[in-house]
Structure formats: structure tokens, C-alpha cells
A and B are shown apart, each in its own frame.
Chain A
Amino acid sequence: MSAANLQIRPDGHLRHFLCIEGLNRGLLTEILDAAESFAGVAEQSVKKVPLLRGKTIVNLFFEASTRTRTTFELAAKRLSADVLNINISASAAVKGETLLDTLRNLEAMHVDMFVVRHAESGTAHFFACKALPHVSVINAGDGRHEHPTQAMLDMFTIRREKGADFGRLRVAIVGDILHSRVARSQIHALNLLNTGEVRVIAPRTLLPAHVESLGVRVFNDLREGLRDIDVVIMLRLQRERMQGALLPSEREYYQLYGLTEEKLSMARPDVTIMHPGPINRGVEMDSQVADGPRSVILQQVTYGIAVRMAVMSMAMQQNTPAGTASA
């Protein structure tokens, strides 16, 4: 079954949240609007709403994560759900329990929602295909495929910074597009929201085959790609990319693709600088830029909670069986 059918109910509501591809603009806007209403919750003295009271959410992380897991956890807690964090390192998986057994065992404990991160593309789909009818699956990153809540919090950040009219924006994504699930989700989200122009900037070794088919303009030169840009999203460069002949050195990468004040002069003066974190200072960007006035990197983290609250509540609300009152 295609991803779109899998994650949307016949009535058009969200059932799972697996990937941005296949969703529609209305749904994305609905998520952003809901996130807007949740953003206020954190500022109240009691940072909780009772929307998911009595629900059990499991954060099932097969890959290390701090930021994503904590913001999912906080989001669930602020929705009054019970949260269980399970970190299954690769070594534990080697002990022999299959993914399906893990899912079935947790389902037997009456879990209502799984937040899943895994190193293999398609894992969230696999869980969604096998999950019981009342169980929702949220993708917290699968291999190189998608990381849809990260993209939504990025869209939320852009909307807060630049307003709701994406049509007049030029957005550039810089760095390791090839291995990035964040980039794929961002590209789909930006295009669904009718962004004026979406660019990717990277050396050829870090671009996937036919990347232009995702709906982006491709640049190999950072300065050229930054010309007149409104938003620049830097991606994290993983150290292991130096092996495998993808890049010669961090030094050369920083020289060519590291974001500095000097290179930023090509962009629009009010350019917004984003990064999904964690940053490699001096590799992807200069500290001066990361900590500068145009950087919204920490706001992204804050907004992450509201956006995840929105996605979780939307996927779960529809799961309440008819007749039982939802809070």
C-alpha cells in the first residue's frame, strides 16, 4: 500500500505520520495551525493539556537520539499521555528479537502509539503495515528516507519567521543531501507549501541520483546557491563521510560549504539560518553564524515540542472509539 493511503484515513484525517510525501497542503497547514495553538501551552504555569490522558505512547528508538527523543517525550507528557522510552541499540537487536516481535509484545501491553526511529529506510512503514487498527505510528526518522516531524517544525519556524506566504521565499538546503532524511522531508514539505524556489547545495558526492526529480534546483557552489536566499538550512555532516571517499577532509568541506558571515553576504539581509542539530561548529558553520542574530536554531528546538504535540494529538484523536468522550 502506498504511503499516502497508509497514513491518511478515508475521512482525510491523519492515522499515522510516516512521511511528508503523499500528504497535502491542507493537512500540513492543519498541523502548523494546531502547533500554533500548542505553542502557548509551554508558557502557562501548568504546562499540560489533558488531550491524551490515559493514552500510552512508546518512544521506540533503535538509533541514538537526544533532541528528537526528548522533545517527543515532552510533547507526549504535555498532552498528559503516559510515556515509555525504549532504546534498543543495535547490539540488543542482535540478541534475536525481530522488529515484529518487539511490536507485538508492546502492543500486548496496550500501547496506543509508537514513535519509531530506525537506521533502515521503510521501518516506520513496516510498523504501520503491521500495527493493530487502533495503534498509530509516528516516524521519528527512518534511514535516509524521511524525518517528517523535523520538517514540520522547520516549516513552523519558517512560517513564524517569514509569514505564511511561502510563495515569495527562496529556501536553500546545504550539505549531505544524499544521506539526509531531514532534507527529503523538508523538500517535500517546502514544495507542498508552494515555496517559491527550493535549492540544494552540495558537492556531487553528497547528492542522490536524480535529486532534481524531488523538485529542487541543484547548486554545487555555495556562494552561487546562496544568492538572494531567504532561508538557509544547514545539514549536519557526519564524520564517517570522510571515509568511503565521499569527501577529502573537513577542512576542505568547511572551506567550500561551511557557512560564514562572508558567504552569507550573498543572501538577503534578513536571511534566516536553520540547522536540525547537533551542529559541528567549524565544519558546517561558523560559531559566529550559529550564535548570530539571524540564527533560529534554538527556536527550532522549542517549536519541535509544539509541532510534535500537534502531530500526536491529531493522529490520536481520531483513534478514540466513537461514543467514548475524548478530553
Chain B
Amino acid sequence: MPDIRIHGGRLIDPANQLDEPLDLYISAGQVAAVGQAPDGFTADIELDASGLCVVPGLIDLCARVREPGQEHKASIDSECRAAAAAGITTLCCPPDTMPVVDTPAVVELIRHRARQTNASRIVVLGALTRQLKGEHLSEMAALQQAGCVGVSNAHHPLQSTLVERRAFEYAATFGLTVFLHASDVALEAGGCAHEGHIATRLGLPGIPEAAETVAVARDLALIEQAGTRAHFCRLSTQRAVRMVARARFDGLPVTADVAIPYLHFTEVELSGFSPDYHFIPPLRTPLDRQGLLEGLRDGTLSALCSDHQPHEPDAKLAPFPITEPGASGIDSLLPLTLKLADENLLTLSQAIEQVTSGPAGILNLPYGRLSAGSPADVCIFDPGATWRLDASSMNSQGTNTPFLGWEMKGRTRYTLRDGQIIFGATAS
């Protein structure tokens, strides 16, 4: 494994509160030193990062790679390579593949296929219940042993609050974090848009705010009861953010994240029935968007993810309510995160934190930082480079995104995972 020196760049490492011109030394797949070369270090490879930013490799807290089971949408190979090209070194995949991630064999299949790509790594959330049916507990200890970094029932409902309580307690037995999609299915009632004046005008079945807040309230009560560590995935309402903030203030071991589209769009975008804006949970009001941004600023939300959901074109070629929700987001995660800093909604360091040490903390993984001894996951990007997001510039197999045609600022030049250059090796 080569020793690498990355020199001349602006090193931003929020976990260590660093933001200054510093060289980075990598040896044996780990960060050897920051600033001063370790004794006797000779670089096999020199990477010139003049004019570039050097940050920890990004962690995308929610990316569906569609494999196994939906390879017509994307594959582990396509998405791990796309992630590498986007500066993302770790993808966290929810368990709703086909088959579901409820046995060690499926975990091993995904991890094996990811290793074969020699690009970004995948970490996997195991199913909270068998086949995600919400009835029987999954073999969580076995899943943990196989490498699952947490458990989740994805968007599938649990049969009862009793199952939820037992699942939380069982997960807590092994110190597994439960990843929750807070939505009350009965209140969701098959809706496809935020229940508000836009859905009323368009005649789209609505999903009320209460679908989220009722679920968060119920989950919080059970989290407290079970003493489990829990993470709320993709909050969409201001009220839910405030409920989580209150729970954190009260000392509950809970964290939460938000996905990029919810920071840029609101229900207003639905006016033309464009399926690109079909999301679950739905895009909500401008006030909710403000609430999410506030949550990022005050630390209630500690991760920003792409909520990557690549689709084949047909999945979006239908009237809005019967299209599949979600957008492809890997390619645009870095520039759209940087955009928050560009618009002074967050500082650059805060923004980077949300896609590095923030998610690493939630997943309890040693990535997302450039401390000596930590795995050498590095993203080197040109903060001023602009490019247009379109089907030809995207690396993900899915090109379904409402950001299509947007000008992106910030482009990855090199990506290193475990000290290996997985993207940009040939670029000068």
C-alpha cells in the first residue's frame, strides 16, 4: 500500500476543528500525520492539492444501491463507483433490498460485492423485523456479527407498539442503534403529498404533518422506556425537529438527519405534477424547510444525506401519484452541501461536518475524520469548479433528480478510501 502525501491544500476536518493549509500524510491505509511529516516518511505518491480542499471522505447516511433485487434501477458496482467519483467513501444502505437484509448471508453478499468494486465501501443496516413485516424480531445479534451497523424497518410499519417496544429492547441488548422512519401509516393513508393547500388544489391525497409528529411522539416514549439508542431518519417537519430537540435536551440518546431535497424544495414545487418532486416523506411547507435548516444549525440534526433512490426512467413516467418516490442523489451530495455554506446558511466547516463526522457519530464508525490512526478516507475537491448536473454528467445509474440542469459548484478531484485512490488517479 503506497505512502501518500497530499500537499498544498486547505485541510478542513470538523471533528478536529481544523481549517487551515496543512499537508496530510497517509501510510498503511491510515492517516499517519497532519501538518508535520512523520519521522522517516517518504511519499510514494504526491498529490498536489493546491487550490483544493482536503476533507474526510463523505459518508452518505442513506443510499439505496438496489442490489440485491432491483438491478434494473442500479447496482452495487454502479453506485459504489458513482459514490467514489462524488467524494463519498461510505454508503449506508437500508435493509429494504430484495431479499431483505434479515440474514447474515445478505449482509455478506452486499459487503462482498462492494469490496469487489474496489470503490467506496458499503455499511449495512439490518432489518429490525423478519422480512420487514413488523411481526417477528430479526436475529439482530447475528446481523450485528455479520457487520450491520444498526437496525431499521425502513419504510415498513411495525404491527403494533408492543412489537416496537420489544424490538427496541432487544436492539438495546446489543447496543444496536435503531434507525426510524417516523411515519404513522394509518395517518399517511396512502397519500403522496403534504396535506396542505397545494395538495388540496391538485387533488393529491395528503399526508398530514401529524403522520410524522404522532410517530415521533410514540417512538420517543418507547425509546425512553426501552433505553435504546435511536436515530430519526429524514425528518420533514419543523415540529418533529423541535420534538427531537426537546428529547435531546432531556437527555434521550436520540439523533436525527435530513435529506438534501428537503432543504431546497417545498410543496410548492408540486404545482406542475412533476414526479421528480415525489418524495416520501413529502416535501412540506416553507416553514418546515426553515425548521430543518434551524435544526442543522443548532445541532438537533447531525447529518445531511442524499437519501439516494435511483430509478429506471419508467418509474417516473406516469401520473404523479403512481410514480415511485425518491431521487438519485449521490452525484450532487457534495456540491449541494457546499451550497448551504455558499448561501451562508451554515459555515463551510458545519456543512462538511454534516456529511463526515456527523454521520460517523450516528453510525459509531471511525470514519469521517482525519485524526492520526484513523482510516485514510479523503475527499479532495475543487471548491470553485462549476459543472452542470445532467444525465451525461451523472455517474449513478439513476438520473431521476429534481436538480437536473442545475449548475453545481464544487467538484471532486480525488477520493481515497483506506488510503487507496479510488477516484481521480489519472487526473493531473
Contact = CB atoms under 8 A, between A and B. Distances in A.
Interface string B186-199: 00000000011101
Contacts of B321: 120-122, 143
Interface residues of B, number: 22
A213 B319 contact: no
A145 interface: yes
Given A2-B271, A2-B272, A125-B272, A98 B199 contact: no
Interface in A197-251: 208-211, 213-214
A1 interface: yes
Chain A interface category by residue count: 20 to 34
Given A3-B272, A126-B273, A209-B195, A121 B317 contact: no
A21 B319 contact: no
Contact of A146 (B203, B314, B319): B203
B206 interface: yes
A143 B204 CA distance: 8
Contacts of B322: 120
A117 interface: no
B208 A144 contact: no
A146 B204 CA distance: 11
Contact of A100 (B271, B273, B317): B317
Contact of A121 (B208, B272, B319): B319
A300 B172 CA distance: 65
Interface-centre pick from A100, A121, A213 (highest chain B CB count, 10 A):
A121
A2 B271 CA distance: 7
Contacts of A210: 196-197, 200
Interface in A99-156: 99-100, 118, 120-123, 125-126, 142-146
Contacts of A145: 202-204
Nearest to A211: B200
A208 B203 CA distance: 9
Given A120-B322, A142-B319, A208 B272 contact: no
A213 B197 contact: yes
Contacts of A184: 201, 203
B287 interface: no
Contacts of B320: 120-122, 126
A142 B204 CA distance: 10
A240 to B, nearest CB: 14
* Residue of B197, B203, B271 with most partner-chain A CB within 10 A: B203
Nearest to A100: B317
Interface in B192-238: 195-197, 199-206, 208
A205 to B, nearest CB: 12
Given A1-B272, A122-B273, A181 B203 contact: yes
Nearest to B194: A209
Nearest to B206: A209
A144 B197 CA distance: 14
B105 interface: no
Nearest to B314: A98
Contacts of B317: 98, 100
A144 B203 contact: yes
B318 interface: yes
Given A2-B272, A144-B205, A214 B200 contact: yes
Nearest to A124: B319
Contacts of B201: 21, 184, 213-214
A188 to B, nearest CB: 9
B210 to A, nearest CB: 11
Given A1-B272, A121-B321, A125-B273, A209 B200 contact: yes
A121 B200 contact: no
B152 to A, nearest CB: 30
Contacts of A100: 317-318
Given A142-B203, A209-B208, A126 B197 contact: no
Contacts of A122: 202, 204, 273, 319-321
Contacts of B195: 209
Contacts of A211: 200
Contacts of B319: 99, 118, 120-123, 125-126, 142-143
A99 B321 CA distance: 13
Interface string A21-57: 1000000000000000000000000000000000000
Q: Which has the most chain B C-beta neighbours within 10 Å: A3, A142, A143, A209?
A: A209
A6 B195 CA distance: 25
B205 to A, nearest CB: 7
Nearest to A188: B201
A208 B273 contact: no
A213 B272 contact: no
A209 B271 CA distance: 16
B209 to A, nearest CB: 10
B283 to A, nearest CB: 15
A121 B204 contact: yes
A181 B271 CA distance: 16
B269 to A, nearest CB: 11
A118 B322 CA distance: 12
Contacts of B204: 121-122, 143-145
A274 B206 CA distance: 29
A165 to B, nearest CB: 27
A207 to B, nearest CB: 9
Contacts of A209: 195-197, 199-200, 206, 208
Interface of A: 1-3, 6, 21, 98-100, 118, 120-123, 125-126, 142-146, 181, 184, 208-211, 213-214
Given A184-B201, A214-B200, 15 more contacts: A1-B272, A3-B271, A99-B319, A120-B322, A122-B319, A123-B319, A125-B319, A143-B321, A144-B203, A184-B203, A208-B200, A209-B196, A209-B206, A213-B201, A214-B197
21 contacts: A99-B318, A99-B319, A118-B319, A121-B273, A121-B320, A122-B204, A122-B319, A122-B321, A125-B273, A126-B318, A142-B319, A143-B204, A143-B321, A144-B204, A181-B203, A208-B206, A209-B206, A211-B200, A213-B200, A214-B197, A214-B200
Pick the 10 closest A-B CB pairs, nearest first: A144-B203, A145-B203, A122-B273, A210-B197, A208-B200, A213-B197, A121-B203, A123-B319, A122-B320, A120-B319
